[in-house]
Amino acid sequence: MSDRTFHILTFGCQMNVNDSEWLARALVARGFTQAPLGKARVNIVNTCSVRDKPEQKVYSVLGRIRQATRKLPDAFAVVGGCVAQQIGAGFFTRFPQVRLVFGGDGSAMAPQAIERLCAEPGLRVSLLDFSEEYPERDAQLQSGPVPPSAFVNIMQGCDNFCAYCIVPYTRGRQKSRAADAVVRECAELVEHGAREITLLGQNVNSYGQDAEAARHATTADGGKAVTFAELLHRVAALPGLARLRFVTPHPKDIAPEVIDAFGTLDNLCPRLHLPMQSGSDRILKAMGRKYDMARYMDIVQRLKAARPDIQLSTDIIVGFPGETEQDFEDTLVAMRAVGFAASFSFCYSDRPGTRAAMLPGKLEAAEKAARLARLQEWQNDYTEQCLRNMVGTDTEVLLDGMSKKPDMAPGGGHDDGAGIPGGESWQGRDPYGQPVNVVLPARPERGPAGGPEGWLGRIVPVTIVEAKKHSLRGVLRA
């Protein structure tokens, strides 16, 4: 039998991570096994093109793969995701080892294609067509345990065409997945041990507002497409689901019912990622974001009223074309006013074909980098302060694995004050999504996720005793 080993490298957003995990399960179900880079026959790179840097990384990774596999005559590479959609068959000429390119809608067909490529050495395949319908994928739950925190796609693509963003071109038009299929997948994940589910989409608030959603509407829904708020309620009602999250909402169309859900659904976690992008109305307008800061701050106030302990995080682009020092300062003022627990900030990067790429007033790289550094310095201090504020509080931690840090390794003798000789160090997340490390007594029996580790997937009561730069340390409460 020919070698059926694979390795996947993933760049970019959680959607890509989710696609890669599905692809890995689908390949394992077809008899493939995972192998390290340089040893695997099928080398898959799942790519992101949202900024220029991640795109450049793909090219260097393909060079690395070529080097690492030069002694494996059958080895080949597969490029999936947004850069694959953008460059397409151009990969075949630039990198002869690439034999399959697939985009977001083509991923459902990738496992079959990889199987064919293993059997037919001369073949090359491209799966780049956008489909009209949401490309439903086979459930692959049977192969391997389900992680305690699982991700479920609810839509593909985006229709917003923000001026800087390549996503509408690489992921195509918005297509909502059928609500019944979403709820069914969530229910299966919970049955197999998932305690937390994160619903994924480029713009979850407009779930249900597209032609594909209208096609899914059933008489049980009164013939109308299911809204995002209704979907949240349906998933939240699944017995056994301890935590529900979603990402990413667009501020322009967050419905009052979604804000209310933070006050009414017990298992909807008190943490929301709400991309602001800029704190300047002038720049928001140029970005085509369709909200101003008055609207953004109103949403923040209403979220805090619905759920007073809610923590927010955001995305910021620094140095959008035409951004003045005053515009940038407006962003800093807005960030201080909201008090984001975390932010992901990026220098503006020209993406081919987008409106912003054609705008005048581009900033020098050094100016963008200097502004970014100022913003990140403030955020880092504030994030540390948020973590320090948690010290002394009681929380609940969903355990998702054993600690990887050497000083937190099992039996590593880490003195955490918990007084548990020979205890096991575990990591997990609190309801806000903050990483927490905790030492627990050894627990040999199987956990609820069916895995070999007894604590995996359990939610334990913890008191936070220390704040580190990016994480917390807690002790088990009796």
Residues that bind ligand 5AD (CB under 6 A): 50-51, 164-165, 275, 277, 315, 317, 346, 348-349, 351
Range 249-278, binding ligand SF4 (CB under 6 A): 250
Minimum distance, C-beta of residue 227 to ligand 5AD, in the bound complex (Å) = 23
Identify the residue among 81, 147, 148, 168 touching ligand SF4 (CB under 6 A).
168
- C-alpha to C-alpha distance for 351 and 372, rounded to whole angstroms: 19
Range 198-217, binding ligand SF4 (CB under 6 A): 202-203
Between 357 and 465, name the residue whose CB sits nearer to ligand 5AD.
Answer: 357
SS3 for 92-151 is HHHCCCEEEEECCCCHHHHHHHHHHHHHCCCCCEEECCCCCCCCCCCCCCCCCCCCCEEE
Between 295 and 443, name the residue whose CB sits nearer to ligand 5AD.
Answer: 295
Region binding ligand SF4 by CB under 6 A among candidate stretches 159-167, 255-263, 299-307, 450-458: 159-167
Identify the residue among 27, 87, 165, 347 touching ligand SF4 (CB under 6 A).
165
Going by their DSSP bridges, the two strands 311-318 and 342-347 should be labelled as: parallel
Between 165 and 462, name the residue whose CB sits nearer to ligand SF4.
Answer: 165
Identify the residue among 16, 140, 156, 160 touching ligand SF4 (CB under 6 A).
160
User: Binding to ligand SF4 by residue 474, rule CB under 6 A?
Assistant: no
- C-alpha to C-alpha distance for 383 and 473, rounded to whole angstroms: 15
Name the DSSP letter for residue 227.
Answer: P
Minimum distance, C-beta of residue 370 to ligand SF4, in the bound complex (Å) = 24
Q: How many residues bind ligand SF4 (CB under 6 A)?
A: 10
Inter-CA distances, 321 with 138, 334, 363, 365, 371, Å: 43, 19, 6, 12, 14
Token pair for 282:
């002038």
Minimum distance, C-beta of residue 162 to ligand 5AD, in the bound complex (Å) = 7
User: Binding to ligand SF4 by residue 150, rule CB under 6 A?
Assistant: no
- The residues, ordered by sequence, that sit 6+ positions from 214 with a Cβ below 8 Å of its Cβ are 225
Give the sign of the dihedral formed by CA 52, CA 58, CA 61, CA 66.
negative
Minimum distance, C-beta of residue 144 to ligand 5AD, in the bound complex (Å) = 29
Place of tokens 């959609």: 85
Q: What are the backbone dihedrals phi and psi of residue 307, each rounded to the nearest 5 degrees, phi first?
A: -145, 85
Minimum distance, C-beta of residue 33 to ligand 5AD, in the bound complex (Å) = 33
Minimum distance, C-beta of residue 45 to ligand 5AD, in the bound complex (Å) = 19
Q: Which does 160 bind (CB under 5 to 8 A by kind): ligand SF4, ligand 5AD, none?
A: ligand SF4
User: Binding to ligand SF4 by residue 344, rule CB under 6 A?
Assistant: no
Between 17 and 109, name the residue whose CB sits nearer to ligand SF4.
Answer: 17
- C-alpha to C-alpha distance for 289 and 136, rounded to whole angstroms: 30
- The residues, ordered by sequence, that sit 6+ positions from 427 with a Cβ below 8 Å of its Cβ are 399, 400, 401, 402, 403, 404, 408, 435, 436, 437, 438
Minimum distance, C-beta of residue 319 to ligand 5AD, in the bound complex (Å) = 9
Burial class (CB in 10 A: 0-12, 13-18, 19+), 402: middle
By the criterion CB under 6 A, which residues form the site for ligand SF4?
158, 160-162, 165, 167-168, 202-203, 250
